[in-house]
Structure 1
Amino acid sequence: MPLTTIKQIVFLPLVLLLLATACSRPFTRSAGYVYLQKDGRTEKKWKLVWKDDFNAPILDTSKWTRIPPGKSDWNRHMSTHDDCFRLDSGYIYLRGIRNPDTTADPRPFITGGIYTKGKFAFQYGKIEIRAKLECATGAWPAMWMLAEQNKYGAYPKNGEIDIMEHLNFEHKVYQTTHSYYTLDLKQTQKPPHSGTAPFNRDGFNTFGIKWTPHKIVFTVNGKETFTYPRITGVDASQWPYDQPFYLLIDQQLGGSWVGKVDPQQLPVQMIVDWVKLYQ
C-alpha cells in the first residue's frame, strides 16, 4: 500500500475525533482563555470544563495571579507576600496575618488573595468553590466576580457578582449583585439584589452560582439560596451580566462593613479545596 494512503488512513480518524470533541464541547473560546457557553445549553446536563484542585506544590500561574494591594476597603491589605499563601495536601491557604516587616510596608496586617484576571473568564455556567472559612474579628473572606472586559464603562457599570462574603463570626453568608442599577440608581428591591444563607461555620462548604442569560442562582452546598433575575421594563443597566467575568477568591480584613480587625485573633485563613466550572 502506498505510504500516502497509509498516512491518510491513520490521519483521517484523528481528524474526525478532534472534530467530534470540538462539537461536543459546551463552550467556545475567545482570546484562548474565555469560556463562552454555547446557546441552548441552559436545560442540558452540566459538563466540567475547567478546574483547579490545588494539588500542585505551587500556585498554577497559568490560571491565577496573587492579588496586589489597592486603595479600596477590600484590597487595602492585600499582599503578594509569601507568608499570606500556603499550598499543602491539596489545599490553598489564603491568610490574613500580622505584617512581619512593617519597615518595608507600614501596614499592620496583610492578607492573601488570588484572581483569574487575564487568565480565565467565563460567560454563563455553574461555578462551585469548596472552602472552609475561619473566623476572627474583622475577617471578611470573599468569593466574587468582575467583568473581564469593559463592555459598559467604568465600575459599577459592568456589574459585580458576590458568590459569597462572610463577616466576623456570623453563621450566615451574603450573596449579592452590584451594578450601576443597584448602586447609582438605588434599585436594590426591583428585584432584590442580595440574600443571606446559613452555612456550616466549622467545616467545609461549597459555594456557587448557576448563571444563565436570564438569571443568577446562588447556591450553598448544592441548595439554591437566592436568585437575581433579569427583568423587563426597567433601566438596561439592571443586567450587565451578558459578558465574561473573572473570579476572585480572597481573605479580606477590615473595612467599613466588617469593622475593625483584632490583631490578637490573627492569623485567620480561608482554606480552599477546589474550584470547578461547568457549562
Structure 2
Amino acid sequence: MLKYIFILVVFFLVSCKSSSSKIVDGYQYIQKDTVKVKDWELVWKDDFDAPKIDTTKWTKIPKNNADWGNYMTSDAKCYAILDGKLYLKGIVNTDTISDSRPFLTGGIYTKGKFAFQYGKIEIRAKLESAQGAWPAIWMLSENNKYGKYPRNGEIDIMEHLNYDDLIYQTTHSYYTLELKQKDNPPYYKTTKVDTEKFNTYGLEWYPDKLVYMLNGEETYTYPRIKNVDKSQWPFNQPFYILIDQQLEGAWVGKVNPKDLPVNMIIDWVKVYQ
C-alpha cells in the first residue's frame, strides 16, 4: 500500500511541475503566467562543440532592410567554430562582383526553430571592438501577436558600440518608440563591461518584469506597470533569439575598414524555465 501511495505522490509532483509549461508546435516553450520561481531548469542550449553550426537550432540571418541588417550574409567567411566557440565576423567584402556591398557580417537566429515565453537566458560571449561595430544579443516575437513591429516589442539583452567600455540593455515597444514613453518606466540602462574578457549576458523574464543581468548580477529591471497604454507590455508571447555582429547604422556610425575584421565570439547559449 505504501508503495502505491509513493508512486501516486511522485506522479502528482511531476504532473504539477510539468503543467507549469508546455511545448507548442514542437519548438515554442511556453510557461504559464503564474511562474515566479527562480529554481530554473535547463530546457535548451548550444555549446558550439560541433564542427558546424547546428541548423536544427540556428539559421544564418539573411540581409534585410533594417538599419542593423544591411550587411548580414550567409557567406562562410563570416562564420567559424574553433575550440568550441562560434565566431561571428564583420569583414571587408573582397568579392564585390558576387556581392556589391562593401562589408559583410555574420549573425544567427532561432526563428522557427526555438522560441520561449518566460524563463531565463544566458549567453557567454566576448566582444571585439571596431569603429562601426555593433554586436548584439536580442530577442523578437515569434508570432506577431499584436501586429507589425514595434507592436510586439524587442528585448535587447546586450548591445555594444564601437570601442565603448559599456553595454546597452534596452526594452523597445510601440509604447517606447511610437508613444515616446521612455521614462515611465525607464526603457534602458548602460552598464560598464570589460570587453577584453568573456562575459555572461542574461535576462530573467517574468509575466510582470524583465530583469537584465551581467555575469549573474542584476543590472536593470523593466516592470509591467498599470494604468498606461496596453502596448507597454507585449511581452506575453514567445520570443526567439538573435545573435549578430552588426556593422554600421544611424546609431553606431560608419565603419573604419582598417579596424576590420572584428569578431563576436560566443562560448555558449543556455535557456532555462
Q: Which bin holds the TM-score, normalised by the shorter protein? A: over 0.9
Residue 9 of structure 1: aligned partner: none
| Offset, 1:89 | 1.0
Residue 47 of structure 2: aligned partner: 53
- 1:128 correspondence with 2:122: yes
Q: Which protein shows a greater Rg? A: 1
TM-score, structure 1 as length reference: 0.91
Aligned runs of 1:62-73 on 2, under 5 Å? 62-73=56-67
Aligned runs of 1:201-216 on 2, under 5 Å? 201-216=195-210
Q: Which moved more, 1:77-86 or 1:44-53?
A: 44-53
Residue 5 of structure 1: aligned partner: none
The number of residue pairs the alignment matches comes to 265
Deviations 1:154-195 (A, max 9, x none): 000000000000000001000001111001100000110010
Check whether the contact 2:137–2:159 (CA below 8 A) recurs between aligned residues.
Answer: yes
| Offset, 1:27 | 2.6
Residue 132 of structure 2: aligned partner: 138
Residue 4 of structure 2: aligned partner: none
Instruction: For 1:21 and 1:100, locate their aligned partners in 2 and report how far apart those are by CA, in whole Å.
Output: 56
CA RMSD after TM alignment: 1.7
- 1:82 correspondence with 2:93: no
| Offset, 1:130 | 0.2
Partner of residue 37 from structure 2, selected from 25, 36, 43: 43
Deviations 1:48-75 (A, max 9, x none): 1110000000110010000000112100
Instruction: For 2:193 and 2:217, locate their aligned partners in 1 and report how far apart those are by CA, in whole Å.
Output: 11
Residue 108 of structure 1: aligned partner: 102
- 1:119 correspondence with 2:113: yes
Residue 190 of structure 1: aligned partner: 184
| Offset, 1:40 | 3.7
| Offset, 1:41 | 3.2
Instruction: For 1:18 and 1:75, locate their aligned partners in 2 and report how far apart those are by CA, in whole Å.
Output: 49
Partner of residue 180 from structure 1, selected from 150, 155, 174: 174
Which runs of 4 or more aligned residues in structure 1 lie more than 2 Å from their structure 2 counterparts after TM superposition? 17-27, 38-41
Instruction: For 1:211 and 1:23, locate their aligned partners in 2 and report how far apart those are by CA, in whole Å.
Output: 21
| Offset, 1:150 | 1.5
Check whether the contact 2:35–2:207 (CA below 8 A) recurs between aligned residues.
Answer: no
Instruction: For 1:66 and 1:130, locate their aligned partners in 2 and report how far apart those are by CA, in whole Å.
Output: 19
Residue 222 of structure 1: aligned partner: 216
Check whether the contact 2:48–2:268 (CA below 8 A) recurs between aligned residues.
Answer: yes
Residue 266 of structure 1: aligned partner: 260
Counterpart amino acid of residue 182 in structure 2: T
SS at match of 1:264: helix
Which structure 1 residue ranges, 5 or more long, are not aligned?
1-12
Partner of residue 237 from structure 1, selected from 217, 226, 231: 231
Residue 199 of structure 1: aligned partner: 193
CA separation of 1:241 and 1:101: change in aligned 2, threshold 3 A: same
Aligned runs of 1:7-46 on 2, under 5 Å? 24-25=17-18, 27-46=21-40
Counterpart amino acid of residue 69 in structure 2: N
Counterpart amino acid of residue 219 in structure 2: T
| Offset, 1:19 | 9.6
